[in-house]
Amino acid sequence: MMRGLREKGSAPVTDSIKTAKPEKDYSIYFQPPSYREAKKRGKEDVRVHYDFRIADDLRTIGRGKLYHIQTYGCQMNEHDTETMKGMLEEMGYAWTDHRREADIILLNTCAIRENAEDKVFGELGHLKSLKTEKPDLILGVCGCMSQEEGVVRRILEKHQYVDLIFGTHNIHRLPELLREAMFAKEMVVEVWSKEGDIYENLPKKRAGLKAWVNIMYGCDKFCTYCIVPYTRGKERSRRPEDVIAEVRELARQGYKEITLLGQNVNAYGKDFEDIHYRFGDLMADIQKIDIPRVRFTTSHPRDFDDHLIEVLSRGGNMVEHIHLPVQSGSNEILKRMSRKYTRESYLELVRKLKAAIPGLVLSTDIIVGFPGETEEQFEETLSLVREVEFASAFTFIYSPREGTPAAQMEDNVPLEVKKERLTRLNNLIAELSRKDNEKLHGQTVEVLVEGVSKNNPDYLTGRTRTNKIVHFRGPESLTGELIDVRITEVQTWLFKGEIATLHALEA
The binder of 222, among ligand SAH, ligand F3S, ligand SF4, none, by C-beta within 5 to 8 A per type, is: ligand SF4
Shortest Cβ 108–ligand F3S spacing (Å)? 8
Nearer to ligand SF4, 150 or 405 (CB): 405
Pick one of 191, 223, 362, 368: the residue that binds ligand SF4 (CB under 6 A).
223
The binder of 180, among ligand SF4, ligand F3S, ligand SAH, none, by C-beta within 5 to 8 A per type, is: none
Q: Please, which residues bridge with residue 331 across strands?
A: none
DSSP, collapsed to helix, strand or coil, labels residue 486 as strand
Residue 112 found at the interface with ligand SAH (CB under 6 A): yes
Which residue in 425, 32, 408, 3 sits closest to 225, CA to CA?
408
User: Phi and psi dihedrals of 207, rounded to 5?
Assistant: -130, 150
User: Phi and psi dihedrals of 415, rounded to 5?
Assistant: -55, -40
Q: How many residues bind ligand SAH (CB under 6 A)?
A: 17
Instruction: Scan residues 319-358 and list those touching ligand SAH (CB under 6 A).
Output: 325, 327
**Cα 70 versus chain centre, distance:** 15
DSSP, collapsed to helix, strand or coil, labels residue 273 as coil
How would DSSP label each residue in 191-227?
------EEE--------SSEEEEE-EE------TT--
Cα distance from N-terminal residue to C-terminal residue, the chain = 54
Options 10-18, 221-229, 354-362, 457-465: segment touching ligand SAH (CB under 6 A): 221-229
Decide the pairing of beta strands 444-452 and 460-463.
Answer: antiparallel
Decide if 381 contacts 429 (C-beta within 8 A).
Answer: no
**Cα 460 versus chain centre, distance:** 26
Positive or negative CA dihedral for 74, 111, 148, 103? negative
d(CA 322, CA 305): 14
Instruction: Scan residues 67-86 and list those touching ligand F3S (CB under 6 A).
Output: 73-74, 76-77
Which residue in 340, 307, 309 sits closest to 322, CA to CA?
309
Residue 226 found at the interface with ligand SF4 (CB under 6 A): yes
The binder of 110, among ligand SAH, ligand F3S, ligand SF4, none, by C-beta within 5 to 8 A per type, is: ligand F3S
Residue 264 found at the interface with ligand SF4 (CB under 6 A): yes
Options 16-24, 134-142, 225-233, 309-317: segment touching ligand SF4 (CB under 6 A): 225-233
Q: Please, which residues bridge with residue 393 across strands?
A: 364
Shortest Cβ 326–ligand SAH spacing (Å)? 9
Shortest Cβ 463–ligand SAH spacing (Å)? 21
Residue 390 found at the interface with ligand SAH (CB under 6 A): no
Residue 112 found at the interface with ligand F3S (CB under 6 A): yes
Nearer to ligand F3S, 228 or 460 (CB): 228
Residue 221 found at the interface with ligand SF4 (CB under 6 A): yes
Q: 375, exposed or middle or buried, with CB in 10 Å at 0-12, 13-18, 19+?
A: exposed
Q: How many residues bind ligand F3S (CB under 6 A)?
A: 13
Instruction: Scan residues 268-307 and list those touching ligand SF4 (CB under 6 A).
Output: 300
3-state helix, strand, coil in the chain (%, to 5): 35, 20, 40
Nearer to ligand SAH, 229 or 474 (CB): 229
The binder of 401, among ligand SAH, ligand SF4, ligand F3S, none, by C-beta within 5 to 8 A per type, is: ligand SAH
Residue 364 found at the interface with ligand F3S (CB under 6 A): no
d(CA 204, CA 209): 14
Residue 185: CB atoms within 10 Å: 6
The binder of 367, among ligand SAH, ligand F3S, ligand SF4, none, by C-beta within 5 to 8 A per type, is: ligand SAH
Q: Report the interface residues with ligand F3S, using CB under 6 A.
A: 73-74, 76-77, 110-112, 143-144, 227-228, 231-232
Q: Report the interface residues with ligand SAH, using CB under 6 A.
A: 112-113, 225-226, 228, 263-264, 298, 300, 325, 327, 365, 367, 396, 398-399, 401
